């Protein structure tokens, strides 16, 4: 079955530090890959996505590249801000066009950014 | 675009009562909606997949008689927690898929915090 593995957290960084959050996956076929962010007390927001190998998703200074050879989708940001403090979830969805395709989530990792 | 709302955002109920949570897609049609449960500092657990006009598909271990799901229209799905108990206290999140888009992307509601006393 499908699975997503995220690095263990939490992660605490100083403002303007470089961020990398690792994510690897196991899937049959060619899944779509996502990063979701959850701010305290809120639901999930899509941060970025990639649908095929070598695609790079980017948004709000965050980037992640779909690496089929290493089955990875690591999230990076060159300079984090305090407002980036949140929980980050890596997820995959199989490529079936059917509406019942499910999202498989990683465990999530909490990022705290100090001023 | 692609906004999903949930109501209520917070609810406190007494043990033994039932609570209904609504999930609406505001600016798109969603033939499929998903219901998740999230425990503190944990990931989302898919409870069920809700299809408009048909019975929901529940994940293994989820009691269908306790968590009643109705998806009567293309923009509304409801989750009713029946005979709630303190262990049902959790953060419930719904998501919806916009079939007009090709990518299997789900749009999430803001969540409902249920506390059973």
Of A42, A101, A103, the CB nearest to B110: A42
Mutation site, A8, A10, A43, A52, interface B, largest B CB count within 10 A: A43
The position carrying tokens 């600016």 is B27
Instruction: Please give the average per-residue pLDDT across B2-21, as a whole number.
Output: 95
pLDDT (0 to 100) of residue B34? 94
Asked if residue B42 has pLDDT above 80, the reply is no
- Which pLDDT band holds residue A100 (cuts at 50, 70, 90)? low
Q: Coil, helix or strand for B87?
A: helix
pLDDT (0 to 100) of residue B102? 61
Kindly report, residue by residue over A10-51, the tens digit of the pLDDT: 999 999 999 999 999 999 878 899 999 999 878 889 999 998
Asked if residue A69 has pLDDT above 90, the reply is yes
Mutation site, B104, B107, B113, interface A, largest A CB count within 10 A: B104
Mean pLDDT of chain B: 90
The position carrying tokens 């108990």 is B85
pLDDT (0 to 100) of residue A90? 96
- Which pLDDT band holds residue B44 (cuts at 50, 70, 90)? confident
Q: What is the DSSP string of A16-68?
A: T--EEE-EEEE-SS--EEEEEEE-TTS-EEEEEEE-STT-EEEETTEEEE-BT
- Which pLDDT band holds residue A96 (cuts at 50, 70, 90)? low
Structure tokens at A105: 């989530």
Asked if residue A99 has pLDDT above 60, the reply is no
Instruction: Please give the average per-residue pLDDT across B51-80, as a whole number.
Output: 92
pLDDT (0 to 100) of residue A102? 82
Mean pLDDT of chain A: 91
Asked if residue A108 has pLDDT above 60, the reply is yes
């Amino acid at each position: 079955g499908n699975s997503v593995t995220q690095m263990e957290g939490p992660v605490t960084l100083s403002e303007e530090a470089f961020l990398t959050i690792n994510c690897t996956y196991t899937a049959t076929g060619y899944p779509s890959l996502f990063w979701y962010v959850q701010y305290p007390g809120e639901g999930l927001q899509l941060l970025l996505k990639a649908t095929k190998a070598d695609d790079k998703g980017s948004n709000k200074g965050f980037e992640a590249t779909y690496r089929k050879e290493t089955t990875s989708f690591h999230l990076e940001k060159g300079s984090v801000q305090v407002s980036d403090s949140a929980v980050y979830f890596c997820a995959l969805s199989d490529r079936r066009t059917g509406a019942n395709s499910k999202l498989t989530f990683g465990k999530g990792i909490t990022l705290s950014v100090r001023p | 675009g692609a906004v999903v709302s949930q109501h209520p955002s917070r609810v406190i109920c007494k043990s033994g009562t039932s609570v209904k949570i609504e999930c609406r897609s505001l600016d798109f049609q969603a033939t499929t909606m998903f219901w998740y449960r999230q425990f503190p500092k944990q990931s989302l657990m898919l409870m069920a997949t809700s299809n408009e006009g048909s019975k929901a598909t529940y994940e293994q271990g989820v009691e269908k008689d306790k968590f009643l799901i109705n998806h009567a229209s293309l923009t509304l799905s409801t989750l009713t927690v029946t005979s709630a108990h303190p262990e049902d206290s959790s953060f419930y999140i719904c998501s919806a898929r916009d079939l007009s888009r090709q990518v299997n992307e789900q749009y999430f509601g803001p969540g409902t915090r249920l506390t059973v006393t």
